[in-house]
Amino acid sequence: MLVVTGVWGSFHPVFAQDKRISISAPDSLIETGLLKHILPRFSLKHNIRVTVTRAPETGNMAFQLDPSGLPVFKQNEEIWHLRVTGEDPNGYLKIFEDWLLSAIGKRAIEGFSPKAGGPFSTNVISVVAKRATATERDTNLGKSLAMKNCGRCHAIDESNRKKTIGSTPSFGALRTFQDWEYRFEAFYTLNPHPSFTQIEEVTPPFPAGSPPAITPIKLTLDELDEILAFTRQIEPADLGRAVQSN
Ligand code: HEC
């Protein structure tokens, strides 16, 4: 039996340890009642407590309509995506993601009958495929920007692997990080990039006395966005293989 306390969305079965994650969702999703239906099922199975927050960007994960996440279910034509927004040191977020995509998770989602708005479906694959075609041109732009700006060090795909610096992680290897998006969005603040990277209207000019030792990278935030869109559809490298950075 579940005891649901005054703060809705926080479920309190008795847990051996206090394992918890939090997830943000907009009111429009919360009000359907779906999360109240599925989250206790997940919590009971995995002993991980899930707190729902309304404020965006406050959880470890977010349910959102914005397609910058994993499509997980849809109601009518609205596709909901799960985006990991925080670190996942214990792997709980991955457990949640796997559960949501599992047969049990899908049954929980599809077994819910909302009071309004029609049933939820987990059949989002065809939509994803369609979207991939629609954005083909965008990712081509992102790919050429990545090749030109990042490809002298990072292997972007097989075509430039041989010309790159072996010790620099490939884009496929970087894609395996749970928080790869964060790292890409912030790459110009992460070493070694700051000494040779300028983002228009974001980074200060290079110090007058010490110009970059190598050909600098100059990008706008829009161009970085294109690189992210391209990177999103790169297959993460197979980490089952012996550890290799390239
Ligand atoms: C001159 C070589 C060079 C270029 C050009 C370069 N990188 Fe890197 N990048 C590196 C190296 C080396 C590392 C590994 C740093 C480490 O492991 O500490 C790295 C790491 C990264 C990381 C992971 C950072 C972290 O701390 O997790 C990201 C993300 C990244 N690069 C993105 C990019 C993008 C996007 C571009 C192009 C716009 C780019 N890099 C261009 C050399 C380069």
Supply the pLDDT for residue 11: 47
pLDDT 10s digits, 109-155: 999 998 778 899 998 865 445 454 544 556 888 999 999 999 999 99
Residue 209 CB partners (closer than 8 Å, separation 6+): none
Q: 174 C-alpha vs ligand 1 centroid, how far in Å?
A: 9
CA distance 72 to 109: 10
Whether 6 has a pLDDT exceeding 50, the answer reads: no
Q: 145 C-alpha vs ligand 1 centroid, how far in Å?
A: 14
Q: In the numeric block, which tokens belong to residue 217?
A: 């990278």
Contact 197, 203 (CB under 8 A): yes
pLDDT 10s digits, 22-44: 999 999 999 999 999 999 999 99
**Cβ of 166 less than 6 Å from ligand 1:** no
Does the pTM surpass 0.85? The reply is no
**Cβ of 147 less than 6 Å from ligand 1:** no
Whether 240 has a pLDDT exceeding 70, the answer reads: no
Q: How many residues does the chain have?
A: 246
**Cβ of 190 less than 6 Å from ligand 1:** yes
Domain residue spans in the chain?
A: 20-127, 136-232
Q: 94 C-alpha vs ligand 1 centroid, how far in Å?
A: 25
Quickly state the pLDDT bin for 5 (edges 50, 70, 90): very low
Q: 154 C-alpha vs ligand 1 centroid, how far in Å?
A: 7
Q: Give bridge partners of residue 218 from the DSSP assignment.
A: 198
* Best residue for ligand 1 mutational test, from 148, 153, 165, 167 (most atoms within 8 Å of Cβ): 153
Average pLDDT of 80-96?
Answer: 89
Buried b (16+ CB within 10 A) or exposed e, 196-206: bbbbeeeeeee
pLDDT 10s digits, 182-210: 899 999 989 999 999 999 988 888 888 88
Q: 183 C-alpha vs ligand 1 centroid, how far in Å?
A: 9
Contact 154, 169 (CB under 8 A): yes
Supply the pLDDT for residue 9: 46
Per mean pLDDT, which range of 7-21, 46-60, 82-96 is the poorest?
A: 7-21
**Cβ of 155 less than 6 Å from ligand 1:** no
Q: What share of the chain in percent tops pLDDT 70?
A: 84
Classify 20-127 by CATH class.
alpha beta
**Cβ of 153 less than 6 Å from ligand 1:** yes
